[in-house]
A = this chain, B = another copy of it.
Amino acid sequence: MAVIETNRDEPQGPKPLSVAFVRDAWYVASIGTELKSKILSTRLFGQPIVLFRGADNRPVALLDRCPHRNAPLSEGKLVEGQLQCGYHGWRFDSQGACVHVPGLCSEDYRRNQNATRFATYEQDGFIWIYGNPSVADPAPPESIACCDAKNYMTRRATYDVEATLHAVAENILDVPHTAYLHGGLFRKQGGETPIDVVVRRMADRVEAEFIGEKRPAGIVGRILAPGSGDVIHVDRFILPSWAQVEYQLGESYHMMGTNLLTPLDARTTRVFACFSLKSRIPAWLLWPFFRIVAKRIIKQDIRILKLQSETIELFGGEQFTSTEVDVLGLQIWQLLKQAQRGETQVSREPSERRFQMLV
């Protein structure tokens, strides 16, 4: 029986956007190599953030607003590893402390003058920032599976989507749309082969395993897995914002695509993709093909997600309906809401659900 659920408790009328800001968590702010001697500006939860490397080369993230007259600090410049505001020259160290106010005789300028600082961490080739600035020194972020691991080639990329983090995660982990939106690229339309789907829910994640799937059809499948045979395919959402797609063919092929989503604001999501591949064919030889296909897929996803957002806004909110083959969307939303309420650590028996879908 197909379980039909709406994405909300109440059945009728538009609902606000599915936005749950999980603040006590790490988000990627930049690819590590893109933060060099220049100042970068980004956003998190709608707040402007300025990024730079301090005197010790470690990344620094401050709220991008000078406490003096609110000029954006990202318009300033670096002076000896400190950030000097471009308006009146106030200077801030890597803790956000104001260390110089030009013109002022007294040194008594340290009250209220500090810039808000976010904890940072550099790992797996990314700059991470912690979403809650009142936590000075949080435990480091989790490592990304297979990232820069032995026998794996890892590539990083980034792009922006005009949609909620939830809509982007659901899109990345959704199977049926690939046959329609990306028609022909790696699944064909009107599939009639039933396969088993097992959905496992844990405290910090939910994953769907697709059992008995054939090698993906189309060009992607042929490049990824030139032989035939069964496939291990798992789609996985990990709190606060990781959308992971894993494919395995026997011992020789293994692909781990981890998409680290950063909510720039309620309806803009920056995707940091970390793609790790082990294969018999040298990965550097496959990469150019992957790139071309990935670019096309991403372009189509960006377009439909933007159109989806615009339609939702025109109607004043979401009004979704779901079926059984919306495998992960609803549970991702539940995880996000619980995490936003701080209930991530609630011990929860892992649950498992099994059903069939056509591919």
Residues of A within 8 A of B (CB): 1-2, 4, 6, 11, 46-48, 64-65, 67-72, 75, 84-89, 101-106, 108-109, 111-113, 167, 170, 174-177, 179-181, 189-191, 194, 304, 307-308, 310-312, 314-315, 318-326, 355-359
Contact = CB atoms under 8 A, between A and B. Distances in A.
A180 B170 CA distance: 48
18 contacts: A1-B108, A4-B112, A48-B311, A65-B319, A67-B320, A68-B320, A71-B311, A87-B308, A88-B176, A89-B179, A101-B325, A102-B358, A103-B176, A103-B325, A105-B355, A106-B324, A109-B323, A113-B321
A326 B318 CA distance: 44
B105 A307 contact: no
Contact of A177 (B47, B88, B324, B356): B88
Nearest to A79: B189
A67 B11 CA distance: 12
B108 A180 contact: no
Contacts of A312: 70
Contacts of A109: 2, 4, 323
Given A2-B106, A315-B65, A356-B105, A177 B87 contact: yes
Contacts of A179: 89, 102
A175 B304 CA distance: 48
Contacts of A326: 68
A359 B307 CA distance: 52
A47 B48 CA distance: 32
Given A89-B176, A89-B189, A179-B89, A71 B106 contact: no
For the complex of A and B, list the 10 residue pairs with the smallest distance between their C-beta atoms, beginning with the closest: A89-B180, A2-B106, A103-B325, A103-B176, A88-B177, A112-B321, A2-B108, A103-B357, A71-B308, A72-B311
A103 B177 CA distance: 10
Task: State the main secondary structure of chain A at its contact with B.
Answer: loop
A85 B177 CA distance: 10
Contacts of A70: 308, 311-312, 315, 318-320
A148 B4 CA distance: 51
Nearest to A180: B89
B311 A65 contact: yes
Given A65-B319, A72-B311, 10 more contacts: A1-B106, A2-B108, A4-B108, A6-B112, A46-B314, A48-B311, A68-B326, A69-B320, A70-B319, A113-B323
Contacts of A180: 84-89, 102
A11 B67 CA distance: 12
A284 to B, nearest CB: 34
A191 B311 contact: no
Contacts of A325: 101-104
Contacts of A2: 104-106, 108-109
A4 B6 CA distance: 54
Contacts of A105: 2, 194, 324, 355-358
A67 B321 contact: yes
Contacts of A101: 323, 325
A105 B11 CA distance: 24
